[in-house]
Each structure stands twice: as structure tokens, then as C-alpha cells.
Amino acid sequence: MHTMEQDPYLWLEEVASEQALGWVGERNAETEAELTAAPGYAALRARLKTILDSKDRIPYVGLYQGRYYNFWRDADHERGIWRRTMLEEYRKPAPQWETVLDLDRLAFEENENWVWAGASFLKPQGGRCLVSLSRGGGDAHVVREFDLERLAFVADGFILPEAKGGASWIDRDSVFVATDFGPGSMTSSGYPRVVKEWRRGTPLPDARPVYEANEDDLSASAWFDYTPGHERQFVQRQIGFYSSELFVRDPAGGALTRVDKPEDADAFTVRDQLLVQLRSDWDLGDARWPQGALLAIDFARFMAGARDFQALFTPTEATSLDGIGVTRDAVLLTVLDKVKNRIVELRHVGGAWERREVAAPGMGALGVSGVDEIASNDYFLTVTDFLTPSTLYLAHSGSDERELLKAMPAFFDASPYTVGQFEAVSKDGARIPCFVVMRKDTPMDGTNPTLLYGYGGFEVSLTPFYSGVTGEAWLARGGVYVLANIRGGGEFGPRWHQAALKHLRQNAFDDFLAVAEDLVARRLTSPEHLGIMGGSNGGLLVGAALTQRPELFGAVVCQAPLLDMRRYHQLLAGASWMGEYGDPDDPEEWAYIARYSPYHQVSRGRRYPRVLFTTSTRDDRVHPGHARKMAALMRAQEHAVLYWENTEGGHAGAANNEQTATMWALTYTFLWQELTRKSSPKS
């Protein structure tokens, strides 16, 4: 172990320094020389590129003024095209699309490495949108106003320079802007703390101040609810990841009125109703509403002092709220029940809420999104699981009838496989479920190459998904895939997440290790054949598992990770995560963080499985210095490490299909090589 004062690798935190990039170049060359020469690499990469470029993938769409918009990448459009069509055309197997914006052409003309970062439409007036573009795929982006009739950027329109934050429409001639206004305008996490109202034709510095959050808050933002008859302006102070204040803004005088919700609850309006989603129990008079519940009340009555909420969802030990969709007349709740989805439809009729279970196909993951929550009761329903290609339906609230719109092709033969749910018992007795995808004839003899994936943080739920990449690169070669639903995630609501917060973080690691031990105990696999993979917070997870129980694994893939938990809060967006991990500058909190910080726990005297670290130079969320420094330290201690850093791609690690295919081909080639070796342990 080493202390902060002894850290010899701080120079690797200088993202674009000549010395650091030289080190990256050497590591990349070593990794690529080994893995691209492995048997099957070239064929696998080509196959993955074909899957990623497939024109038969589902083109997911969003409706705006009668047209359905889609952003698309394939072999002919490396950076992508933004395009649109009509519903009748979209229903066809091969729709005709109108190109709205060609990113490849734009990047060429402007000599910029543009990556699509989304668009927000002007509603209800129409005709304009705000397009966000990132250089290389980072979180920071530029914003430009775009004319959807002329299909061109508005030369003298709303334009923001590169920064984290952005803009949102108020009306055709004004927007809310949260961006970098200069010194003092950003939080310690690197997000905007100042929101202004910017009128068309006026200089950005002259924009009218709306709200200013504290420097140690996470961010500030504002938006306009354009629902006819319920138009309102809202301002939000995001104190931390799990705490916020919400205000209603008077558009005339600019006065803010606080919405009296718990700080750790989320609140938003749906027409005349205020919906509040609780992270903690809430005592209101004689009523106690449990954490994880979703409550509703008339918004005007609430602001006048009423508190007679109605419960739209109340969690149980096995259920949690996974998502909320809205149509013109309904609210659609996606519920997780033992980590499998079902849908509940709610309608507000005569002051009461009517509910019914939606008869949805499949037993995997369900996704719901309203087509036009103002004018239509249609919604998109996405159905997917590990072995069934994702399917997109057009459904209708008030009915179980649905129209099949699109289905992803089968990228691998799923017939030999089966999906099961196992349960492991963690160190403190908690029961931890996981999904296991394997061949039906898998021998329980401890020899199966098995990949265990986990995340366990930020209330993120891991649910079944269909992946041609995972299927072709891992299952089709004979691998077993395991998805762990450990604490820190949201699979069983806020309590599941809060059970691994701050000083309880070790629970997430113990859960992951318990799943690994259970797989070995069942003789599904054995340590020399068991690999683990995780990214971002999941990179911290596998880093902790690596340093705490190295003898339990045969290979580790650590992607865009947090690893130096002494300095994480000083790097990029790290300060915003102190609500999750704690404050390393507080001696009491550093005491428990230090016990698991992978960068401080790796030791020369232990034997570790081989590790592949991957990250991106352009990741402006999780600093690439984490992966760089850990790889350098382990190399210096003579542990076997491979390192690969993409020069583009942001936090996702890749900016286009070409880079994505390379990243996954390297990753799965590494895992297959390591987990099919006979000798063990590896050093």
C-alpha cells in the first residue's frame, strides 16, 4: 500500500500532457499487439462491426409535429445522421427517411470531431430545436439553434460555447440557460450553478438572472412545463445526487416559490397533479408514507397547503418503481417485481385514481414512453430479454391492444441457451439475486468460462437486455454470462441503494463476492475460469473485488473506473459523488473509504489475476487518471496488466461503431484468452 504523499503517478492525471499521452501510446501499442494477434480476434471484430452497423436494428424514434425523428449510425454514417419520417412510412420494413442533419458532413465541413449529444424541441409552437454536439464524446457540449423547416442552423440564433449544462426552451424567443458564464459560475463538481433567462437578439452576458445555487451544490437548472392549461416554469437546485429543492417561478416578476417536498424526494407535475417519489419515509400528520412510494395530489391545492396525498405506488419487499411514462390521459408505471418488469396503468377520474395491470408480453425488461403526452394516448412499449431480440410496439393507454412496429433481428442463435435466476447469501445474510445465461447442456463441473457483471451504485437497476455483442462475443463461444443485482443499485428501491451508501459501501462489494463464491460453490465455474467486468462505479466495484479477493478470479476488465478514492472528488465531476461515497477530506469518512480504495489497497506482495483497464482520453466525467495510475502502479509492482485508452468516446469509451467494435473485440478476446487457460493462478 502507499499513501497520498508517496503517489508517484500524479503526472498521469495531466490528461493531454505529452508525457502522459506518450505513456498511453506505449500501453495501447502493447495491448493491441497482443490481443489483435490472438486467434479469432479479426473475425470477432468484423462480426461485431457488422452487428453494430446492421441496418436491421430498431430505429427508435420520437414524435415532433407529426414527424418521427431518429438518430442513426451505420457503416455509411460513421458519426451518424439525424433523420425523420412519417408514421405510415415508419411502419414499413424499410422506411424512406428525410435527412435532417448529416453529422459526418458537418464534421468534415467544420473540421471538428462532432459527436451527437441530442436535441430539444420547441413546444408547442414548433419549427425549432436546440441541437447539442460534443467534441469527441465528452459530457461538455456546444448548443446551436436549428431550423427544422429550412434544415439549417440559425446563424444569429441561440448558440452556446462548449460547457457542461445547456439550454431549454421557454418560448420561441427565450430560453433558460445554465452554462459556464465565467469565474464563479460553476459548482465544485464542474456543473453550472447559475441559471439565466436569455432573450433572442440580446448578448448572452446580458441574460436575466433566474437562480444561483451554492458552489458546493451539484448544479442548477430550469425548465418550462408547456402543458396547455397548466403552463408553469420550474427551477431546481440540485444539492447532491439525491437531494434537491424545487421552485415554481413567476414568469412576470421572476419570484420563486418553493415546492415543500422532502429534499431527498423527486417531484414533478403531470397536468394538474404533483407527483412525489420518496427516497425516505415521510411523516405527514397522521400518515406515514414509506420510502420508495409514489404519491399524487392536486398541485394548486398542495401549494395552498393541502397534504392529502393518494398513493400511486407502494413498494413491497420484492417490488420497486422502475420507471414512469405519461400519455394524455394516463400515467404508466413500470414496476420491478423480483427484477422483472410489469406495467400498471393509472387514470385520474373524478378525483380518484383508477388502476389496472397491463397485459404485456414477455418476462424480461419492459420500457414505456409516451408518444405525445399532451395530445395522444399512444405510447411506445419496448420488450427485451437476454435471448429475445428487442421488440418495439405501438400501444394505447386504456387498451391491451398493441401494434408490432419493429423487431431487432436475432444476432446469434438463442436456441441452445436458458436464463435462470440464482440467489446468493451475502456476508450479512442479505439475499442477492442474479441472472445467469448459459447453454442448456452446461456441465456443472467448474470448467465453464464465466463472466460476472455488476454495478451496484447510484440506484441504477440492472435488468435483462438483448445484446448481439454479448451473444456473439461471449455466449456463442461457450461462455456463461451472469448479471448481479447487488445492493447500491435500485432493483428493490431506495432501501437497496441506501444499504451501500458511504460507510456501507462494503456491502456492495460483499454482495458481488458472494455471487462469485456462489457460482463457484454451484460448480458452474471455478476461480481460474471466472472473470469480472464493470464500468464507472462498476469499475470501482471490480477494482475492490480484485484487491480484496484476487484468488477468486481468473481475469478482470475494469472500464472507465473510479480507483483513487482519495482524490476522486478533486477530479472532473467527482465532487458530485460525495453523497454516494463520502468525503475523503473528512478523516472519519476517509477511514472507511481508505479500507476499500483500490489504488491504496493494491499490494506488491499479493498475486492478482490479469487485468485489462480501458478508458477514454475524452472522458470528462470519470477522469482517465484513475485507470492510468492504477495500471502504472500495478505494472511497477510487476503484476500482469493490459491497458487501452481510446482517444475519443467520452464516458461511453467509444465515439462511433468502429471504435465500439474495437473496444469490445479487445475486451472479449482478453477475457476468452484468460479464462480458457488451464494454468492458475495467474500473476
Number of C-beta neighbours around residue 230 at 10 A: 15
Please report the sign of the dihedral spanned by the C-alpha atoms of residue 571, residue 573, residue 579, residue 580: negative
| Phi (first) and psi of residue 35, to 5 degrees | -80, -35
Residue 563's nearest CA partner among 528, 524, 494, 614 is: 614
Number of C-beta neighbours around residue 441 at 10 A: 7
Q: How far apart are CA 10 and CA 440, in angstroms?
A: 49
Question: What is residue 32's three-state secondary structure?
Answer: helix
Strand partners, 392: 382, 406
Cell representation of residue 514: 458472494
Strand partners, 327: none
639 belongs to the catalytic site:
no
Locus of grid cell 490481443: 35
Catalytic entry in 219, 536, 597, 616: 536
Q: How far apart are CA 148 and CA 504, in angstroms?
A: 50
- Return the ∠ at Cα 599 (arms to 579 and 491), rounded to 5°: 40
Task: Give the rounded distance of the alpha carbon of 256 from its chain centre.
Answer: 31
Q: In 214-351, where does DSSP find H-type helix?
A: 299-303
Q: How far apart are CA 264 and CA 278, in angstroms?
A: 7
Number of C-beta neighbours around residue 26 at 10 A: 11
Largest Cα–Cα separation, the chain = 73
Task: Give the rounded distance of the alpha carbon of 350 from its chain centre.
Answer: 38
Catalytic entry in 77, 348, 626, 651: 651
Q: How far apart are CA 341 and CA 335, in angstroms?
A: 5
Question: What is residue 234's three-state secondary structure?
Answer: strand
Number of C-beta neighbours around residue 368 at 10 A: 24
Q: Are 531 and 553 in contact (CB under 8 A)?
A: yes
Q: How far apart are CA 8 and CA 444, in angstroms?
A: 46
536 belongs to the catalytic site:
yes
Q: How far apart are CA 110 and CA 132, in angstroms?
A: 15
The full length of the chain comes to 683
Q: How far apart are CA 578 and CA 476, in angstroms?
A: 41
Q: How far apart are CA 528 and CA 671, in angstroms?
A: 11
Task: Give the side-chain half-sphere CA count within 13 A for 609.
Answer: 34
Provide the annotated active-site residues: 536, 651
